[in-house]
Amino acid sequence: MGSHGDADHRFALASVTKLLSSYAFLVALEEGAFELDTPAGPEGSTVKHLLAHTSGYDFAERKVRFAPGDRRLYSNVGFEVLAETLEQATEMSFADYLGEAVLQPLGMDSTSLDGSAAADGISTLGDLVLFATELQSPTLLDVQTHSQATHAVFPGLSGILPGYGRQTDNTWGLGFEIRSEKSPHWTGLLNSPETYGHFGQAGTFLWVDPALDAACVTLTDKPFGPWAVEAWTPFNDKVVSEISGR
């Protein structure tokens, strides 16, 4: 394992928060707090639709832009509604549930959720390496649940990948973005199509490449912008090359 920088410095995660929240939602599914087909969000939408960004919700407003399942519309609101759904089912705050279900069992003592389940996580490199290790070899989830979450759900839907434009097949799992054949993309050209993870507007990302048996975490204090589009793909290609010897 290679690393650079202060592994204990706390960074805002932005949408990388969704990976942690998704894992908590998946634990809740296994605990029976709700099911994938439990109605949640707009009429006709379910927990599964919300996790896969196909509920039809707008990105930031509680407005319905499309019928559930019609297209992939990336939505912070969807994750906030999921958190509310979990709070109603468990009678505890989502931040507390996340802590008990994910953060504490993994020893992620420097990680907290200070607001929205979609974007307000704060963590360290050290803690996210613990989480990436869990993603590579799950201990908190059944392997079948993990597999379903990290493979295409509602496949074949088009949509906008924020920062990278329209994708004919904007593949997503249950809270996890799947690289698939997307182009352009924030991972490397050498990453396998099975690579999954998330990036955030805080200049952060985490990916796991099952074909490579490797993961990469990057945290910065520089907001996402053209610099990231230019830098991340060649950076990730160098990481993959170094690991694989290509």
pLDDT tens profile 21-33: 999 999 999 999 9
Domain that holds residue 221: 11-244
Cis ω for the linkage preceding 138 (within 30 of 0):
no
Structure confidence at residue 135 (pLDDT): 98
Residue 178 lies in a domain: yes
DSSP for residue 224: -
Task: Report the number of secondary-structure helices (H) and strands (E) in the chain.
Answer: 8, 9
Residue 5 lies in a domain: no
Residue 196 lies in a domain: yes
- 86 touches 97 (CB < 8 A): yes
Structure confidence at residue 209 (pLDDT): 98
Kindly state the average pLDDT of the residues 137-145: 98
Residue 53 lies in a domain: yes
Residue 54 clears pLDDT 90, i.e. is over it: yes
CATH of the domain at 31: 3.40.710.10
Residue 144 lies in a domain: yes
Residue 119 lies in a domain: yes
pLDDT tens profile 69-114: 999 999 999 999 999 999 999 999 999 999 999 999 999 999 999 9
Structure confidence at residue 5 (pLDDT): 80
Residue 158 lies in a domain: yes
User: Which of 47, 60, 13, 8 lies closest to 174 in space, CA to CA?
Assistant: 47
Residue 121 clears pLDDT 90, i.e. is over it: yes
pLDDT tens profile 183-235: 999 999 999 999 999 999 999 999 999 999 999 999 999 999 999 999 999 99
Residue 88 lies in a domain: yes
The β-bridge relationship of strands 11-14 and 121-123 is antiparallel
Residue 1 clears pLDDT 80, i.e. is over it: no
Q: How many domains does the chain have?
A: 1
Question: Which two tokens mark 200?
Answer: 């955030």
Which pLDDT band, with edges at 50, 70 and 90, does 6 fall under?
confident
Residue 2 clears pLDDT 80, i.e. is over it: no
pLDDT tens profile 155-178: 999 999 999 999 999 999 999 999
20 CB-contact burial (10 Å; exposed 0-12 / middle 13-18 / buried 19+): buried
Residue 246 clears pLDDT 70, i.e. is over it: no
**Residues ≥6 apart with Cβ < 8 Å to 12:** 120, 121, 122, 202, 204, 221
Return d(Cα 65, Cα 213) in angstroms, integer: 38
Structure confidence at residue 20 (pLDDT): 98
